[in-house]
Chain A
Amino acid sequence: MKAQILRTLTIALLALPLSAWALEAPPSAQDPEIEARMLRLSEELRCVVCQNETLAGSRAELAEDLRQEIRDQMKTGKSDPEVIEYLTARYGDFVLYRPPLKPLTWLLWFGPLLFIALAGAAWYATLRRRRRAEAPAVAEDKLREAARLLEAENGGKDKP
């Protein structure tokens, strides 16, 4: 009841063209700076209990606990790499959506470079062959031949 009255009153007050009276909503985080850092970091971390969600996006209870843990760690002055180290010491590399570069992930990180090199090589090799390919007249002969065969098979019945 009290809240109701208060609400009505507030709405009535706000209806007045006195914007200075309106309340500026405070950030919901206590420390917006740490919050922003925490969110940026947890975008790249896996929520370990969820199927496949980031720590930032998950609504699981443990995810909230871990976000709190990250905030606490940051408040004690730890840098981002130190917080990551804290988490990987407990949960392993599994929590990192950006796998660290080490022998185990060389293929993962350098694989795309390898692919682009292979792509380039395939392109170059094809072009070399193509430039030396038989005279186009021959190819055209073949095309004509193919067309003729098709024609023969259809008995020409589909001609317009």
Chain B
Amino acid sequence: MIPELGHFALIVALVLAVVQGTLPLVGAHRGHAAWMAVARPAAQGQFVFTAIAFACLAWSFLVNDFSVVNVARNSFSRLPEVYRITATWGSHEGSLLLWVLMLAFWTMAVSIFSRRLPEDMVARVIGVMGLVSVGFLAFLLTTSNPFLRMVPPAAEGSDMNPLLQDWGMIIHPPMLYMGYVGFAVAFAFAIAALLSGKLDAAWARWSRPWTTVAWAFLTLGIVLGSWWAYRELGWGGWWFWDPTENASFMPWIAGTALMHSLAVTEKRGAFKAWTVLLALTAFSLSLLGTFLVRSGVLSSVHAFATDPARGAFILGFLAVVIGASLALYAWRAPKMITGGQFTWFSREALLLANNVMLLAALGAVLLGTLYPLFIDALGMGKISVGAPYFNAVFVPLMAPVLFLMGVGPLARWKQASLPDMVARLKWALAVALATGLLLPLTLDGFNAWAALGFFLAAWIALAVFEAFRDRLRHGQGRLPARLAALPRGFWGMQLAHFGLAVGIAGITVVANYETDRDVRMEVGSHTQLAGYTFTFRGTTDREGPNYHAARATIEVSRNGRQLFTLHPEKRIYNASGMAMTEASLHPNIFRDVYVALGEPLDEANDVWAVRVYHKPLINWLWLGALFLVVGGFLAASDRRYRLATARAGAEPGMAGKALGAQA
């Protein structure tokens, strides 16, 4: 009964989405207030019914209803309860339902937090989001129904993929989808602005916090995925340039560009057409990612089981949504130069440079991801493009962006003074250069990549410091009070920039100075790595809820002092028979000690291949990413946006000027 209820709720949600996607748009076009007023209740109703459908599916998983095909394929009676719930979004169907739920959630959020927006704007935004919902609900119901039953019911489920049985994977998809789908808000705002022709600074101000929040969620989602891969795949890699990763990284780059471009549009009224295009691009890339991951056109480790009918549906949907929005852009985007004049050295010019270079980097990632497909489609054979390509291409493209990051926030709008900038930043430049040149020497000899990484990390961090000093120079009162008085937008930006510096430092160190050893260990034998001594104390058998494992005990000491004990495992999952390496790690702020159990070399005597890793500063990567996320939320919560909505963008241009002048 429950699955049927869920199926029914999904159909109701589709009907409501159709209403939400039509009446308000027509109403806004004709100036029909009653039709526009349908937007909010329809959106909220759609959310309620999508949530009911989702709850029904989760329930089916929780009670092990193996008469539901999706449950039988992706769950198992002895799967722990928490994974039974998260298995809800472990499959193609379930994760798509999560996508739809997130979209409905964002739409509802817009319907609630838009009380001060003009009615026609709200109607258009919610209407556009409704149309996107229609597409996805129809996709779900026609090709990917998660509530399909099978007769007779399966006696037992075939288990969730063991790789996904990890709590990083529990929250990774919801966060990722919050980000993907969050860009739908910026997209809908852009379409609404194109439709109404009111592409002004007020529009930019409304879009900004939504974009920033979506970006923060996407960042969190990507990082959780990376953190999961690091711990779960068993050899401590954290980024592989797999098409699935690229599919989430591309909207992230576009979203990053969009956030910065929105700043210019809001504060200076410039780059409107460009900002609109970026808003369309960010969401289009989210849709494209969905297509790439679910259609099977690219081979990827994480791709969902694929089906050509699904691919064809998403492609058709993609073509309509993106095609129509780009056509609308071509037709309606403002053709005149908007906003004020600025010189080659100004905050506008620097942000523009950031934007065009981010887009070049995005283009490179897109090119590398799709190139095998291009070649194959042209019948010219099969090639692979992997990490060596992306590393070779992406790092040089990003380095200038990261350098400009230090300068941009300190530059004045309209016209900045280069000599003044040089005077202010020359000490930072000198210290950063010295760090880049000397630090690698103290570690392991000179290495150009390490030098570049250290230079950039130091440079960005020092520029953040300089930005605070600049802001606090003229203030009155005690330092804590003056710091507290700085706007959250400023804090958010600086925190995010600082987070990037921390992350770059972490990546640089772990990529260049990581060490590992692959040894044959018998009970009582030991090995040394980076000053730590690892002593193998043998393995014991352990029964997990849905697997059995060989659990090793490895004692780690330093200078004869016992520090901690690690327990890596080799698991065999009962239902699927899949073998999994469960690494064990001991983290601290300076390094991770990471141990993975390899193959048994001599089972009778408990001899194993063991791999030990020393990963210096790896946690700076996650810490830096956390700063990015917190920075994003902080910036989005700036008082200015609440004030701005309160004033309904009455004089955004002016407010922007005032702020700009003060900045």
Answer yes or no: are A and B bound together in one complex: yes
Q: Which of B45-53, B348-356, B584-592, B613-621 contacts A (4 or more CB under 8 A)?
A: B348-356
Is there contact, CB below 8 Å, between A133 and B363?
no
In this assembly, does B654 line the interface, its C-beta being within 8 Å of a C-beta of chain A?
Answer: yes
Is there contact, CB below 8 Å, between B356 and A26?
no
Is there contact, CB below 8 Å, between A119 and B360?
yes
Residues in chain B near residue A54, CB distance under 8 A: 386-387
In this assembly, does A3 line the interface, its C-beta being within 8 Å of a C-beta of chain B?
Answer: yes
In this assembly, does A80 line the interface, its C-beta being within 8 Å of a C-beta of chain B?
Answer: no
Chain A positions 75 through 114: 1 when the CB is less than 8 Å from some CB of chain B, otherwise 0: 0000000000000000011111111000011011001100
Chain A positions 121 through 146: 1 when the CB is less than 8 Å from some CB of chain B, otherwise 0: 01100110111011110011011101
Is there contact, CB below 8 Å, between A35 and B202?
no
Pick from A13, A44, A122, A126: contact of B524, CB under 8 Å: A13
In this assembly, does B30 line the interface, its C-beta being within 8 Å of a C-beta of chain A?
Answer: no
Bound Cα distance from A160 to B118, whole angstroms? 15
Residues in chain B near residue A35, CB distance under 8 A: 518
In this assembly, does B639 line the interface, its C-beta being within 8 Å of a C-beta of chain A?
Answer: no
Chain B positions 602 through 616: 1 when the CB is less than 8 Å from some CB of chain A, otherwise 0: 001110011000000
Is there contact, CB below 8 Å, between B364 and A115?
yes
Is there contact, CB below 8 Å, between A52 and B299?
yes
Is there contact, CB below 8 Å, between B202 and A94?
no
Chain B residue at minimal CB-CB distance from A154: B648
Is there contact, CB below 8 Å, between A27 and B518?
yes
In the complex with contacts A28-B519, A111-B367, A112-B397, A147-B652 CB distance below 8 A: yes
Is there contact, CB below 8 Å, between A150 and B340?
no
Residues in chain B near residue A123, CB distance under 8 A: 349, 352-353, 356
Residues in chain B near residue A93, CB distance under 8 A: 381-384
Pick from B198, B301, B303, B384: contact of A99, CB under 8 Å: B384
Q: Which of B36-44, B211-219, B445-453, B533-541 contacts A (4 or more CB under 8 A)?
A: B533-541
Closest CB-CB distance, A144 to chain B, in whole Å?
A: 7
In the complex with contacts A57-B235, A116-B357, A25-B367 CB distance below 8 A: no
Residues in chain A near residue B649, CB distance under 8 A: 147, 150
In this assembly, does B300 line the interface, its C-beta being within 8 Å of a C-beta of chain A?
Answer: yes
Bound Cα distance from A26 to B518, whole angstroms? 9
How many Cβ-Cβ contacts under 8 Å join chain A to chain B? 223
In the complex with contacts A129-B337, A160-B646, A28-B609 CB distance below 8 A: yes
In this assembly, does B359 line the interface, its C-beta being within 8 Å of a C-beta of chain A?
Answer: yes
Is there contact, CB below 8 Å, between B524 and A11?
yes
Closest CB-CB distance, B630 to chain A, in whole Å?
A: 30
Bound Cα distance from A108 to B353, whole angstroms? 23
Bound Cα distance from A120 to B579, whole angstroms? 50
Interface size on A, residues (CB 8 A): 71
Chain B residue at minimal CB-CB distance from A59: B579
Is there contact, CB below 8 Å, between A131 and B344?
yes
In this assembly, does A158 line the interface, its C-beta being within 8 Å of a C-beta of chain B?
Answer: yes
- Chain B residues 377-406 with CB under 8 Å of chain A are 380-389, 392-393, 397
In the complex with contacts A11-B523, A159-B647, A136-B381 CB distance below 8 A: no
Is there contact, CB below 8 Å, between B519 and A51?
no
Pick from A7, A14, A104: contact of B380, CB under 8 Å: A104
Is there contact, CB below 8 Å, between B363 and A112?
yes
In the complex with contacts A111-B367, A160-B647, A122-B522 CB distance below 8 A: no
In this assembly, does B29 line the interface, its C-beta being within 8 Å of a C-beta of chain A?
Answer: no
In this assembly, does A62 line the interface, its C-beta being within 8 Å of a C-beta of chain B?
Answer: no
Chain B positions 184 through 203: 1 when the CB is less than 8 Å from some CB of chain A, otherwise 0: 00000000000000101110
In this assembly, does A71 line the interface, its C-beta being within 8 Å of a C-beta of chain B?
Answer: no
- Chain A residues 35-54 with CB under 8 Å of chain B are 35, 43-44, 46, 50-54
Closest CB-CB distance, A122 to chain B, in whole Å?
A: 5
Bound Cα distance from A46 to B299, whole angstroms? 12
Chain B residue at minimal CB-CB distance from A57: B235
Chain B residue at minimal CB-CB distance from A99: B383
Closest CB-CB distance, A92 to chain B, in whole Å?
A: 7
Closest CB-CB distance, B196 to chain A, in whole Å?
A: 10
In this assembly, does B417 line the interface, its C-beta being within 8 Å of a C-beta of chain A?
Answer: no
Is there contact, CB below 8 Å, between A28 and B118?
no
In this assembly, does B512 line the interface, its C-beta being within 8 Å of a C-beta of chain A?
Answer: no
Pick from A7, A51, A57: contact of B299, CB under 8 Å: A51
In this assembly, does B651 line the interface, its C-beta being within 8 Å of a C-beta of chain A?
Answer: yes
Is there contact, CB below 8 Å, between A25 and B235?
no
Residues in chain A near residue B341, CB distance under 8 A: 130-131, 133-136, 139
In this assembly, does B320 line the interface, its C-beta being within 8 Å of a C-beta of chain A?
Answer: no
Pick from B397, B606, B609: contact of A116, CB under 8 Å: B397
Is there contact, CB below 8 Å, between B269 and A139?
yes
In the complex with contacts A11-B537, A131-B341, A96-B301 CB distance below 8 A: no
Pick from B235, B300, B525, B526: contact of A51, CB under 8 Å: B300
Residues in chain B near residue A3, CB distance under 8 A: 604-606
Chain A positions 1 through 31: 1 when the CB is less than 8 Å from some CB of chain B, otherwise 0: 0010011001101100001001111111100
Is there contact, CB below 8 Å, between A111 and B363?
yes
Residues in chain B near residue A111, CB distance under 8 A: 363-364, 367
In this assembly, does B173 line the interface, its C-beta being within 8 Å of a C-beta of chain A?
Answer: no
Closest CB-CB distance, B545 to chain A, in whole Å?
A: 23
Is there contact, CB below 8 Å, between A25 and B382?
no
Residues in chain B near residue A160, CB distance under 8 A: 646-647
State the A residues within 8 Å of B (CB): 3, 6-7, 10-11, 13-14, 19, 22-29, 35, 43-44, 46, 50-54, 57, 59, 92-99, 104-105, 107-108, 111-112, 115-116, 118-120, 122-123, 126-127, 129-131, 133-136, 139-140, 142-144, 146-147, 150-151, 153-154, 158-160
Q: What 6 A-B pairs come out closest when comparing CB atoms?
A: A97-B386, A143-B653, A119-B356, A98-B388, A115-B360, A10-B524
16 A-B pairs, CB-CB below 8 angstroms?
A7-B606, A10-B523, A23-B525, A28-B519, A50-B301, A51-B300, A94-B383, A96-B383, A96-B384, A99-B371, A104-B375, A133-B340, A143-B201, A144-B651, A144-B654, A150-B650
